[in-house]
Amino acid sequence: MAQPNKPSLLPEALGRALNSDVLVSVKGGQRFQGKLRGYDIHMNLVLDEGVSLDGGKVSKRYGTMLIRGDGVVFVAPLE
């Protein structure tokens, strides 16, 4: 039996941002930047070349990092 088309639960905008640089803001005001390598339906994010930003400047380098979706305020693509 064929299943009816179901809308995707994954955010479409995140799919377009895969393998691109993004800015991520989390609860508490901390911001991170890196290449978006993956995400799931909970908005857990995997960033490569991840860095923490303080006042727009790099304050710490993490490399590959996971950001839990329950703390994400926004994700913005960088040009």
Task: Judge whether residue 1 has pLDDT over 50.
Answer: no
Q: Of the CATH numbers 1.20.1440.230, 3.30.300.30, 2.30.30.100, 3.40.50.720, which one belongs to the domain with range 12-59+68-77? A: 2.30.30.100
d(CA 19, CA 35): 6
**Which pLDDT tens digit goes with each residue over 31-79?**
999 999 999 989 999 999 999 999 989 999 999 999 999 999 999 999 7
Rounded to the nearest angstrom, the gap between the alpha carbon of residue 58 and the centroid of all alpha carbons in its chain is 17
The structure's pTM equals: 0.84
The answer to whether residue 5 scores a pLDDT higher than 70 is no
